[in-house]
Chains A and B, each alone.
Chain A
Amino acid sequence: MAVVLAASSTVPFAVLPALVLVPAVGAALVACLPRRRPELLRLVAVSTSVVVGGMAVWLLSGFDLDHGADLQFVSSGTWMADLGISWTLGVDGISLFLVVLTGVLFPIALLAVDPGHDDRAYYGWLLLLEAGVMGVFLALDLMVFFLCFEVVLVPMYFLIGRWGHGNRAYAATKFFLYTMAGSALLLVGILALAFLHADAVGGRVTFDLVAIAEAQAVDATAARWIFAAFALAFAVKVPIFPLHTWLPDAHTEAPTAGSVILAGVLLKLGTYGFLRFGLYLFPEASHHFAPVFLTLGVVGIVYGAVVATMQRDLKRLVAYSSVAHLGFIVLGTFSLNTEGIEGGLLQMVNHGVSTGALFLLVGMVYERRHTRQIDELGGLQKAAPVMAGVFTVVMLSSIGLPGLNGFVGEFLVLVGAFNAHRWFAVVAAGGVVLAALYLLWAYQRVFHGPAQGDNATMADLRLREGLVLAPLLALIVFMGVYPKPVIERMEPAVDALVAHVEAHVDGFHEPTSQFGSEVEPLGDHGTGHDAGHGESDDDHDDGHDEHGEDH
């Protein structure tokens, strides 16, 4: 994230505004279609999201690797110029893969499940949700970011409330209020930051992220207060222990597509916020408060894992596993070094893919058996071997098995945390073991053992379900085996972010390996190297990985 906005001459059209506008227009279109034509509604919704997904993936190829640290495809338009708010969008290595993840997950979520009733509103809300999420990831203006961050609540509220299960009204309301209360102070913080910045540098009030972050004009005490306001909003959204209590309810009661999007994308709004609007805007305050977040992150990892182990409801178990996974992301982010942040970023994508897939699978089981109680399931493997196989792969990815995507991210986070604060990493590594425990145990209870009653005759994956899961499986394997294309796009931006933090915090140096000079920091290896193993000279057994030869 440098000041220079790379000139993007290769862009044939304003792709970033299109990423926001197309789903919004799709939603409007859906709203105009006749209510009683579900197949037509579905077609419009799915094709809209596929177009958006296509544009997001196209972004990957158009992304200029030589300027990986710069904001690309920047487009700017005036909006509320009176208040200094402008519609500025841009993408860099930090947001790129979250945009792609959003683009990929929405068509999958849309294709995977039928709403069952009120199709028109369902598809409309989902598309609006996609527009809002894209806006959050692309916004380079604090106020536009806030608008999108906040507006996302409304579609999600209705999705949980109207198409959810069981105690859905309670879950939806809790979700809405928690997040709304969390972000109430965010708005005050944004305003305070913009006004203090304008006072300090002189000139008009602006909400331009880059201008404010590069100037660092606000004095340290004020910055810490404002950071606290920001952090509260993000911490609720992530959610960081102890603000996580809305998550199990919302995830469990949400419809399958809602859970997929909620876990896959919406939780990332918080972790992404920490990176872009925490570390970048408030390097000093982030450094100051880092121990708090490291602690809460580790607590989240252990707590989430322990509570997940105790769950009787399969979906709730997956929900609590999210708490643990997001603890890892927070841990990596606040390690404040390249490995940690990169690992955290990678985990955001990984968690989106594998937890998204897990929720899809749980949804498929529920659709067949109408129960999510682990006790009532069992022996499903006999009737549904393919499903069991897919579940195994996804579960192993979630556990962090080497060779699958989860490993790369988790490993980088642990390396980063180890270099920064050794004991946090040690405790967090315990969380990895617990993850294996609760997921394997759940798998064992659900898929193994004798199959009784309906469990013995459960249908296996249908073609459509297989097609929906296939891209996720491909991503799980691809990113586990060959994460280089992802990492090399993230790394320049992450390096720049760490350098930014270093430059603005007195006496802070990026915590790198404490094992002497034979290990170089990741960023210096050049593009040809595989970043996963820069300093893996500890006892991690990564022999399963094809690219372990690096060290």
Chain B
Amino acid sequence: MLAVATPEVLWWALLPVLFLSIGGLLLLTVASVVRRLPDAVPQAWTVVTGLAVLVACVPMWHEVRDGGPRSTLAGSVAVDGSTVLVTALLAAVVVAVALLARPYLSREDLPGVEVYVLLMLSASGGIVMASADDLIVLFLGLEILSIAVYVMAALHLRRIESQEGAMKYFVLGAFASAFLLYGMALVYGATGSTRLALVAEHLSTTVLVSDGMLLAGIGLLLVGLSFKVAAVPFHAWTPDVYQGAPTPVVAWMAAGVKAAGFAAMVRVLVSALGTHASDWAPPVGALAVASVVVGAVVAVLQTDVRRMLAYSSIAHAGFLLLGVQAADADGTAAVYAYLVVYALLATGSFAVLTVMGGEGDAAHRIDDYRGLARRRPVLAGAFTLLLLGQAGVPFTGGFVAKLGVLAAAVADRGYWVASVAMLGAAAAAFVYLRILVAMYLEDTGDETDDVGPVPLGARVVIGVACAGVLFVGFVPGPLLDLARDAVPQLVGGS
């Protein structure tokens, strides 16, 4: 018997992935065996799993902070602040989406187990992706994340838009994955390794005489990742998918998928390829500006609130890219703070949309919001706060988030990028104002209330989101500290 050297495994660091993947598979098994599973069970199971992951994150966070960052599974999975923060963020979003999903599924009369299973699997993929210290692992995580989301997007069986959006998402996503893989192959060719730490080490100790292959690799990586985070010009799928997919799933895509994508992007670009920042930062800056401007301007032309928020999420991706293109620790910390705030804003907003959608998930025209303030003052008030947060009004979390990425860009002398982005943000404000105008200033005259009662789960999600947005707006210190500790660090070169 030959003793095979197995790599060291830090089991505690893998607990979140294990919880979510095993939890998902277990639920799938149980649901296929037990004939009539009550609706509450899969939801409760998902919430409990998500909370368990959140709880597991607390000791992990302390361990990482006190013991320093490390890398496990032969240097392929990072265990650092970034991993823990994104894990906790994804777990929280999983809980929120699970809370939103059950009333939605019963309202829409959709099968009640698959969403939860796919959600948990997707989240485990997201964690793998965000904590990947190796390009191959990154790809694995990305695929686990994406394939689950493709299916989730198509879950609304009776809406053709859902199928259409999922199809587009899938086809374009497959293309993007190919780009990403090709980019990885080229980076491997140029540096001789897929491990990020080794890539970084190689690039910092070696002067590449001809770096064409590396640059092509970086370019292709950038394309693949930009697709996942929906940056212009790789955003074409976003409005259709956001419009078609079940609204709780959209919340997951906006808050969860984006967070995982940006965590991976930051780790690859800033940490591993930081030495070549002068090559990739300008294109990322261009993507940022294009995303903010196109997202904001096109959003103005929409009449469907979900499409508006889809384009506004593109503009948010642009702001996040602003932090990425700064290519330093400040910019990265700003990205993490932004991700947390955006997760609050997005889950809260899409929770409101879930409620507003009504039967058939179709009441998303801006006209459906007319006079909401009179019919539903609290719901309208919460949505107002979330929209103002998205617009980046001071004393909301949105402002703190924008300030961070903007400061990172300006500190980096990116005056033009920052200026254009801010003008884009002012244009985006018009989008949110349109919704506010509809809710407050246009009265339909009739008092009929076609919005059903707000389910408890949605209340919790909206309430927590609003409280979080306000808290960060007034007391930004804790979040900024957290984000600063979460900057990824590459451990374990040769």
Contacts and interface: CB of A to CB of B under 8 A. Distances in A.
Contacts of A366: none
A191 B430 contact: no
Interface stretch (B67-75, B162-170, B476-484): B476-484
A229 B416 CA distance: 12
A195 B393 contact: no
A82 B419 contact: no
Given A151-B395, A184-B426, A161 B410 contact: no
Interface stretch (A9-17, A175-183, A321-329, A494-502): A175-183
B422 interface: yes
Given A172-B441, A191-B410, A148 B430 contact: no
A82 B411 contact: no
Nearest to B480: A82
B429 A177 contact: yes
A150 B407 CA distance: 17
A75 interface: no
Interface in B292-343: none
A225 B415 CA distance: 11
Contacts of A184: 419, 422-423, 425-426
Interface residues of B, number: 33
B407 A81 contact: no
A504 interface: no
A185 B476 contact: no
A146 B393 CA distance: 11
A147 B394 contact: yes
B423 A150 contact: no
Contacts of A83: 403-404, 407, 480
Interface in A118-148: 143, 146-148
User: DSSP majority for the B interface?
Assistant: helix
A185 B437 contact: no
B142 interface: no
B437 A161 contact: yes
A185 B422 contact: yes
A173 B410 contact: no
Given A162-B440, A173-B437, A147 B399 contact: yes
A162 B381 CA distance: 14
A81 B399 CA distance: 16
Contacts of A229: 419
A191 B418 contact: yes
B442 interface: yes
Given A151-B395, A191-B410, A185 B423 contact: yes
Task: Bin the interface of chain A by size.
Answer: 20 to 34
Interface string B389-403: 000011100011001
A62 B410 CA distance: 41
B393 A150 contact: yes
Contact of A192 (B394, B415, B426): B415
Contact of B411 (A143, A146, A195): A195
B410 A176 contact: no
A169 interface: yes
A173 B407 CA distance: 28
Contact of A173 (B411, B425, B430): B430
A446 to B, nearest CB: 30
A143 B407 CA distance: 12
A201 B461 CA distance: 47
Contacts of A3: none
Contact of A161 (B400, B407, B429, B441): B441
Contact of A180 (B426, B436, B442): B426
Interface string B450-484: 00000000000000000000000000110011001
A162 B400 CA distance: 28
B390 to A, nearest CB: 13
Interface in A139-173: 143, 146-148, 150-151, 153-154, 157-158, 161-162, 168-169, 172-173
A282 B237 CA distance: 47
B297 to A, nearest CB: 13
A157 B430 CA distance: 12
B416 to A, nearest CB: 9
A80 B440 contact: no
A158 B422 CA distance: 23
B388 interface: yes
A150 B394 contact: yes
Which of B404, B440, B476, B484 counts the most chain A CB atoms within 10 A? B440
A426 interface: no
Contacts of B422: 184-185, 187-188
B433 interface: yes
Contact of A80 (B411, B415, B476): B476
B386 to A, nearest CB: 14
B406 interface: yes
A151 B436 CA distance: 16
B466 to A, nearest CB: 14
A169 B442 CA distance: 8
Contacts of B418: 188, 191
Contacts of B393: 150-151, 153-154
B426 A181 contact: yes
Nearest to A178: B426
A187 B427 CA distance: 15
Nearest to A199: B411
Contact of A177 (B399, B406, B433): B433
B484 A82 contact: yes
A540 to B, nearest CB: 45
Nearest to B404: A83
A85 to B, nearest CB: 9
A177 B407 contact: no
A173 B419 CA distance: 22
Contacts of B436: 157, 161
A191 B441 CA distance: 35
B407 A168 contact: no
Interface in A191-245: 191-192, 195, 225, 229
A161 to B, nearest CB: 5
A82 B481 contact: yes
Nearest to A173: B433
Given A81-B477, A147-B394, A188-B418, A181 B440 contact: no
Nearest to A172: B441
Nearest to B484: A82
A192 B441 contact: no
Contacts of B477: 80-82
A148 B394 contact: yes
Contacts of A143: 403
A151 B423 contact: no
Contacts of A81: 477
Given A82-B477, A147-B395, A161 B406 contact: no
Contacts of B440: 158, 161-162
Nearest to A151: B394
A6 B442 CA distance: 52
Contacts of A82: 477, 480-481, 484
A-B pairs, 6 with minimum CB distance: A184-B422, A147-B394, A191-B410, A181-B426, A169-B441, A151-B394
Given A169-B442, A188-B406, A191-B418, 20 more contacts: A81-B477, A82-B477, A82-B480, A147-B399, A150-B394, A151-B395, A154-B393, A161-B437, A162-B440, A172-B437, A173-B433, A181-B426, A184-B423, A184-B425, A187-B406, A188-B410, A188-B422, A191-B407, A195-B410, A225-B415
Interface of A: 80-83, 143, 146-148, 150-151, 153-154, 157-158, 161-162, 168-169, 172-173, 176-177, 180-181, 184-185, 187-188, 191-192, 195, 225, 229
20 contacts: A81-B477, A82-B481, A82-B484, A143-B403, A146-B394, A151-B393, A151-B395, A169-B441, A177-B429, A180-B426, A185-B419, A185-B422, A188-B406, A188-B415, A188-B422, A191-B410, A191-B418, A192-B410, A195-B407, A229-B419
